[in-house]
Chain A
Amino acid sequence: MKKLYYYIPFICFCFLLVFFLKQLFEEQSPSELPSVLLNKKLPLIELEKLEGYHFMSYENLIFNDKPFLINVWSSWCGPCKIEHDNLMKLSKTYKVPIFGINYKDEIENAKNFIENYGNPFSIIGVDRKGKEVINLGVYGIPETFIIDSSGFIKYRHVGPILEYDMLNVILPILKNLEE
């Protein structure tokens, strides 16, 4: 009994070691926050129209026949340029509907961005003041949400969608939702 009592510090140390190692090798970055809106209905967001492009109203977002992506982007955002090729692939090659939310941008710059890099978005809405995306819990762009056909948020991706994310995360989730 007395011997067991002496092992308590060692047992505590082992617990701490396991806890810290788990944190150290966990794949998800601790600065990346899980969305609290997962599996919840898409909240109401009121956006403005981007002249010359199909408008994204709230009704467009909640009535769909297949799952889709919502991508929050801006022309001044560097990582948005990095992920743009993959968004184009998702849209043109994999036929995934992507609804774009243009965030705190100059209208002309947003239009130029799409003209120069291509338009992966089937519809676009503008959040000029950046207040509407707060309803989605957005805290940095680019952010991408996967929404199922009933309008429920199923996944949130923070940061640019790289090829690995597209092939191993986004597309499998979309495939699962379609089945």
Chain B
Amino acid sequence: MYKCLLIFLVLFSSISAISKEKNDSLVAKELFEELRCLVCQNQSISESDAPLAKDLKLIIIEQLNEGKTKTEVKSFLVNKYGEFILFKPTFSLKNIFLWMSPIIFLIFGIFLTYRFYYFSSVNIQNSEKLTAFEKRKLKSILNKDVK
């Protein structure tokens, strides 16, 4: 009975250790792709061959093995290198314009388009409403042109 329990415990702990390792490596891979290499600034540390990118990868793996979460690792690196290290800026008050600008510009664009079409249709309608005097005048002008 004890033997069975012992075998079960060993199996369970090794399975959970393997799954944790697998999970850590997935998180590490995600982080490698989300973080910018500060030497080759348009590459992620996953793509970069710069020595700094290699060091950062090692630090990420080390911190994940120590039990730190993805957010904790990210905030450690942001504290050292600033938000520039993140490809996706955080949704904070400082970055609010960056995040909201597409919506602001979309609303502004819709407003401008609406105004443009509204005014052009109003102008067409107004042009149709000629007074009797205007109609007479228009007719006489047109007649003059024909002559």
Contacts and interface: CB of A to CB of B under 8 A. Distances in A.
Contacts of B144: none
B51 A33 contact: no
Interface string B56-97: 101100000000000000000011111010000000000000
Contacts of A140: 38-39, 52
Interface stretch (A47-55, A62-70, A130-138): A130-138
A130 B55 contact: yes
B19 interface: no
Contacts of B38: 33, 139-140
Given A33-B81, A36-B80, A36-B82, A134 B59 contact: yes
B82 A131 contact: no
B41 interface: yes
Contacts of A35: 82
B51 A104 contact: yes
A33 B39 contact: no
A34 B82 contact: yes
Nearest to A43: B80
Nearest to A36: B82
Contacts of B79: 36
A37 interface: yes
Nearest to A31: B41
Interface residues of A, number: 19
Question: What secondary structure prevails in chain A residues at the interface with B?
Answer: loop
**Which of A37, A43, A135, A139 has its CB near the most chain B CB atoms (within 10 A)?**
A139
A43 B76 CA distance: 12
A36 B41 contact: no
B58 A131 contact: yes
Interface string A122-151: 000000011100111101100000000000
B41 A131 contact: no
A4 to B, nearest CB: 13
Interface string A97-141: 000000010000000000000000000000001110011110110
A37 B80 contact: yes
A64 B82 CA distance: 28
Interface in A73-98: none
A33 B84 contact: yes
Contacts of B58: 131
A36 B81 contact: yes
Contacts of B51: 104, 130
B39 A137 contact: no
A134 B82 contact: no
A152 to B, nearest CB: 16
Contacts of B81: 33, 36, 137, 139
A130 B54 CA distance: 10
B55 A134 contact: yes
Contact of B52 (A36, A43, A136, A139): A139
A121 B132 CA distance: 98
B59 A131 contact: yes
